[in-house]
Amino acid sequence: MEKSLILIKPDSLQRGLVGEIISRFEKKGLKLIGVKMVSLDDAVLEEHYYHLADKPFFGEIKDFMKSSPVVVLALVGGQGSVLAIRTLVGPTKGQEAPAGTIRGDFGLSGANNIVHASDSVENGASEIARFFNSDELFEYEKTDSKHIYGN
Ligand code: ADP
């Protein structure tokens, strides 16, 4: 199984999109194993967005991500689900993201772009470990799995 970390960003919280976004992941068939609200700080953002640390807009990203709490999800799905989630979320810029994707349906910005989703299986595992303590993650059987995945 593959795991993804989702951050429902401050713009979504302010715009009342949290339920809609969680619903899209649920309807896709993904299993929710963790959910919480947190206020991010510079330390976690500098770790999470280390690949952008030398960009001129890095300060803006941090200010935006600290502007209100975020809702953090840990999702589990079968093989290929990390990529499927990225497809569901859409490309970085909302104004270019295809209709039907979360960013394409709700965003018009490359900065305030609604959600973060892990971009690889490796990063999914490490990002979930970054944002969740082990006692905040839940193991359970999702009884619709046989209908979602077949045999
Ligand atoms: P993604 O979130 O699609 O994986 P990146 O990892 O490249 O994209 O960027 C991380 C986040 O940094 C983006 O989701 C967005 O919020 C912000 N960002 C990326 N590029 C820009 C930019 N040119 N200007 C402002 N913010 C940006």
Block mean pLDDT (10 aa), the chain, length 151: 98 98 98 98 98 97 98 98 98 98 98 98 98 98 94 82
148 in any annotated domain: no
Amino acid 27: pLDDT: 98
Instruction: Report helix, strand or coil for 127.
Output: helix
Nearest-CA residue for ligand 1 atom 27 is: 111
Assessment of whether the complete model's pTM goes beyond 0.85 = yes
Q: Are 41 and 66 in contact (CB under 8 A)?
A: yes
Amino acid 66: pLDDT: 98
Does 9 contact ligand 1 (Cβ within 6 A)? Answer: no
Q: Are 62 and 20 in contact (CB under 8 A)?
A: no
The enclosing H or E element of 2 equals strand 2-8
Does 29 contact ligand 1 (Cβ within 6 A)? Answer: no
Total domains in the fold of the chain? 1
18 half-sphere exposure, CB direction, 13 A CA radius? 15
Model confidence pLDDT, tens digit, residues 73-107 = 999 999 999 999 999 999 999 999 999 999 999 99
Does 116 contact ligand 1 (Cβ within 6 A)? Answer: yes
150 in any annotated domain: no
Mutate which of 47, 49, 52, 112 for ligand 1 pocket (most atoms within 8 A of beta carbon): 52
45 in any annotated domain: yes
Q: In what order do the strands lie in the sheet with 2-8?
A: 31-38, 70-77, 2-8, 115-117
HEC profile of 20-52: HHHHHHHHHCCEEEEEEEECCCHHHHHHHCHHH
Does 92 contact ligand 1 (Cβ within 6 A)? Answer: yes
Domain region containing 106: 2-143
* Nearest alpha-carbon partner for 63 in 41, 94, 38: 41
pLDDT, the chain, mean:
97
Q: What is the CATH number of the domain that holds 47?
A: 3.30.70.141
Amino acid 97: pLDDT: 98
